[in-house]
Amino acid sequence: MITRRCFYSGAPRPWLFVGLGNPGDKYKGTRHNVGLEMIDTFAEAQGIEMNTLNCKAIFGQGFVDDAPILLAKPQTYMNLSGESTGPLAAYYKLPLNRVIVFHDDMDLPCGVLRLQDKGGHGSHNGLKSIIYHFRGNREFVRLRIGIGRPPGQMDPKAFLLQKFNASARERIDTALQEGVDGLKLVLSKGLTESARCFNTAQKYKHIRLQNMPI
């Protein structure tokens, strides 16, 4: 079990992975919930059980090799994600560069990922809430999960709450597995080197997917 006491024993400092989305079956499988799906995919791949509640989040903890990991799925609804994320980071006394937030991103094509060491909220309400609860500090890591833009004049809010069609679902499922590999690279190599390698591969994927309809 990972406790605050571990931080004084010379053990590696944990990473906190937070997946954003809305709780409940109504929202399961929607574009806005890919952050939660990324947590579930990572937890399953690493055999980490998500079976407790902590700071308004479904929570799990474990190790990947020697790296301690905390996994959280806030149950506050997207717009209040910071009410869970802020207290979790504070409780475990984590610097924000040990927090990685997984979230949907309309500025990336469907199925393309980016690791980013900091940034703004890009009008994403979950990120807005987290930045607010981090007292304006934006220097937490993000794993951006591309969902693409709404077609035509479609309302972006309606687009976010729709489920993926079959071809888009296939892209997302592939991206989630790639995300697991990228996160494991972060745990073993650190963020800077991992982000450079991971983002380069995703950039080539972006080019390859540009002319493929979904």
Looking at 32, 103, 124, 133, which residue is catalytic?
Answer: 32
Cα dist from 94 to 16, 21, 90, 103, whole Å: 8, 22, 6, 20
- 14, 94 contact by CB (below 8 A): yes
Alpha carbon distance 137, 10 (integer Å): 27
Alpha carbon distance 32, 21 (integer Å): 6
Number of H helices and number of E strands within the chain? 6, 7
Alpha carbon distance 134, 199 (integer Å): 26
Q: Could you confirm whether 103 is annotated as catalytic?
A: no
Which are the catalytic amino acids?
Answer: 32
